[in-house]
Amino acid sequence: MNQTGRLSRTTRPRRYELLITPDLDASTFSGEVVVALEMSEPTDTIVLHAKGLDVALVELSQGGAPVAADLRIDAEREYIVITAQQPLLAGDAILELQFDGPISNGLFGFYRSTYLDEAGAERVLAATQFEAAHARCAFPCFDEPEFKAMFAITLVVADGLLALSNGPEIDREKLPDGNVRVRFGTTIPISTYLVAWVVGPLEVTEPVDACGVAVRVAHVPGRGHLTQFALDVGAFAIEFFEDYYGIAYPGEKCDLVALPDFSFGAMENLGCVTFRETRLLLDPDAATLDETTGAALTIVHEIAHMWFGDLVTMKWWNGIWLNEAFATFMQHLGIDAYKPEWKTWDEFALARAAALDVDALENTRTVEYEVVTPQDADGMFDLLTYQKGGSVLRMLERWLGADAFRAGVRHYLSRYQLSNTETTDLWDALEEATGRPVRRIMDTWIFQPGFPTVRVGEGRLEQRRFCYSGAGHDERWVLPVLARIHTGESVETRSLLTDAEVVPLEVPDGSLVVLNAGGEGFYRVAYPTAWRDRLLDAGVLQPLERFALVDDLWASVLAGDATAAEFLECARRFAGETDPVVWRAVVGHLRTASRLVEGEALERMRIEIAAIVKPATKRLGWDGHSDDARTRQLRGLLVNVLGSTTFDPETIARAREIHEHAEGADADVQAAAISVVASNGTADDFERFVARATETTNPQEQMRYLYSLAEFPSEELVLRAADLALSDEIRAQNGPFVIQRALRNREHGAVVWAFVRDSWPRVLARFSPSLIPRVVEGTTWLVEDGLPDDVLKFVAAHPVPSGARTIAQHMERLRVHRAAVERERDRFSAALLQAP
């Protein structure tokens, strides 16, 4: 063992024979594991992981002969230590252990989940969630990603229960005690965090063939009608990635498992992918475009991992960002091929903007950083890993060219399949395939924090780190820049800005230049006002470029480099906009700008927003049956704004009518109507929404009603929503998001904060540590006088170690927002009240 606490590399597992016998009624399990080991040098000590298990040594043997040995448990370090009475020789050995432990009530390890059947009776199942370091809670193992091994898993379960694992079922035997022994095929070498099994009263669909791979969906009984979408997307993804990667699917089957209780969106266990129900079970005719694409992207993301993450795996948790960033990039590439009309790369702009917002903080981080323990990796599961990482890969792909990028990825996967890698191995493979300086570029994006803003002026480009605090920084990036020059015709140019502070910019007289052409670079552009106005007047900007222009300008407001009045003036120019993703930037930031003012100025701001939104709403009308999906999406967005932000009486009345007679409206309008009714709702509405969230079997509809409970205008009702989130009436996986939304309630966020503060022990007891930062995120706009100090002091006094970095980012965002209020409230109010 070394000083970091990582296991010795001199002893490695090659194969696990694993038997698990769960008792769902007692919430316990027992097991046996036989580990085939390989020692690179003589040793008398074998150390592996176990946590919360009672473990007994059955036998240690070498060369077919038993070796006398003792077992010691080191609970503090989560180790079991096997000490042989005589040294083992270099070569092979066999370790056999027995163990038992509890089925967890949390959402990690081997954990318990429940649902109510049609008769209202509770049914119990159990499933695994092992990332990052929770396999050790279910069986003794070498619980680090570098220790890849084959797994042959057997489950002994009560007759009538579904049993699933990574491999296909290859044998089933009825036992004398009435249980059933189910044996699964041996996997390829995988890391322990990718091992999975599920046991319980679930159903599974008939398989769909995808290049010879059987794809199935497992689900709670009664929801089989919601599985066809996932089967279609899953089969498409396997076929797409086999072609893209040039390597066959690395498993023998692909089960997609919808779990009633699940902490994350999904988990890429090889051949046995687990999901939240909302991310897998879906009726496309009853789902909004956001809900549909959200599920499709998640499915494709996890299947992309079968190659990038499962077949080729990082050596240590510092590389988890690349697994997730690459799958984030690939999910959009796959869905763009599946449904190009959804324009998923345009929608990715929203995620990129969120990552830019975090990366503009002093409390941002490098994308890759040193990870000493697996727990240190918990902070990597955030916007910077997924969205910044994915955005930087997209920027690189666009600059290299899609074919060149794909060639490099194929080279990487072919070279390292079944093994483990470091981040730089991918950059080197891309360099070898393209001849471009990929490592030089990517090192500046991965190993230093933040991103640049590119400023234009006097024949030069200047890059400086963009930071809301305005603090001086000297970082520079090797920046792949796409630009477009309009001189009567459009010409796109590719260049690589070095890490110099200033570079020349040659612009022909009378021409228009679009920087960040395509709008997909991970940086901001600070156009001079006259330059920005000329671009808008000329109508040469593509949708993502218009999105970026709006988003960059609002970021400048938060940084103090532009005023809210300037942003509003720019936003007025978008009343004739037709693209949904541009509208999402305009509307999102107008809503945020309204948080800067109060009283009469706020009422005036609502009038301004309505004036911008109403012309588009009038053009669209209310009937969307003949429209494409993105137009329906836009209609729902604008209806929501008019009814929930500007409180337009006509919109509220129509939304209530649609909600009460929903059969005639499309899903995007129905979802908007729920939000509008909630924002203007009564106590009777609240009771109906609670009942509807409980009764519906449609996962997406359930979330619409559940999350809207936080939007009600009554303090009593919003507090009740927060209290419900801490009870068994709302699943622990969903409660943090209800509280987050309640904290964001403009009128009642302050009283919800007091409730959360005073109920903090309940919050910690109810929610997984990984979800606590989601609660705290709701405080970032609690900007009323005195309130930020209370939040900051409380959070500082009640640290959450697993989410410390993310929570620090939330607290900095609160300070940024408060500073914007102090800077803007008086002058923005004056500008609004002076407006005609």
Q: Once rounded to an integer, what is the mean pLDDT over residues 743-772?
A: 95
Q: Which residue has the higher pLDDT, 167 or 506?
A: 167
Closest by CA position to 327, among listed 356, 297, 352: 297
Reported as a single tens digit per residue, the pLDDT across 375-416 is 777 777 888 999 999 999 999 999 999 999 999 999 999 999
Q: How far is CA 723 from CA 115, 170, 410, 716, 727, in A?
A: 21, 47, 51, 10, 7
Q: Which residue has the higher pLDDT, 318 or 254?
A: 254
Res 339: pLDDT: 97
CA distance 683 to 717: 7
Res 812: pLDDT: 97
CA distance 444 to 476: 8
CA atoms within 13 A of residue 688's CA, in its CB half-sphere: 11
Q: Does the bond joining 132 to the residue before it have cis omega, within 30 degrees of 0? A: yes
Instruction: Name every residue whose Cβ is closer than 8 Å to that of residue 595 and which is 6 or more positions away in sequence.
Output: 746, 781, 783, 817, 821
Over 80: is that where the pLDDT of 509 sits? no
Q: Which residue has the higher pLDDT, 322 or 204?
A: 204
Give the percent of the chain with pLDDT over 70. Answer: 98
- Split at pLDDT 50, 70, 90, the class of 662 is low
Helix (H) or strand (E) holding 642: helix 629-644
- Split at pLDDT 50, 70, 90, the class of 177 is very high
Over 50: is that where the pLDDT of 167 sits? yes
- The rounded mean pLDDT for the chain is 93
Q: Once rounded to an integer, what is the mean pLDDT over residues 328-335?
A: 97
Reported as a single tens digit per residue, the pLDDT across 20-35 is 999 999 999 999 999 9
Q: Which residue has the higher pLDDT, 320 or 778?
A: 778
CA distance 300 to 676: 32
Torsional sign, CA 363, 369, 371, 372 = negative
CA distance 740 to 667: 24
Res 505: pLDDT: 67
Reported as a single tens digit per residue, the pLDDT across 709-734 is 999 999 999 999 999 999 999 999 99
Q: Once rounded to an integer, what is the mean pLDDT over residues 546-575?
A: 96
CA distance 220 to 123: 10
302 is a catalytic site residue: yes
CA distance 421 to 412: 10
Cβ neighbour number for residue 59 with a 10 Å cutoff: 13
SS (H, E, C) 435-468: CCCHHHHHHHHHCCCCCEEEEEECCEEEEEECCC
CA atoms within 13 A of residue 810's CA, in its CB half-sphere: 23
Res 719: pLDDT: 98
* Location of structure tokens 């910077």: 384
Res 1: pLDDT: 34
Q: What pTM was computed for the model?
A: 0.95
Res 3: pLDDT: 39
Tokens of 91: 């070569």
CA distance 345 to 497: 24
Reported as a single tens digit per residue, the pLDDT across 86-140 is 999 999 999 999 999 999 998 999 999 999 998 889 999 999 999 989 999 999 9
DSSP string for 663-728: GGS-HHHHHHHHHHHHHT--HHHHHHHHHHHHH---HHHHHHHHHHGGG-S-HHHHHHHHHHHTST
Q: Once rounded to an integer, what is the mean pLDDT over residues 520-526?
A: 95
Res 504: pLDDT: 67
Over 70: is that where the pLDDT of 2 sits? no
Q: Which of 252, 268, 302, 701 is catalytic?
A: 302
Tokens of 640: 């929501």
* Location of structure tokens 């769902």: 24
Res 766: pLDDT: 94
199 contacts 138 by C-beta, under 8 angstroms:
no
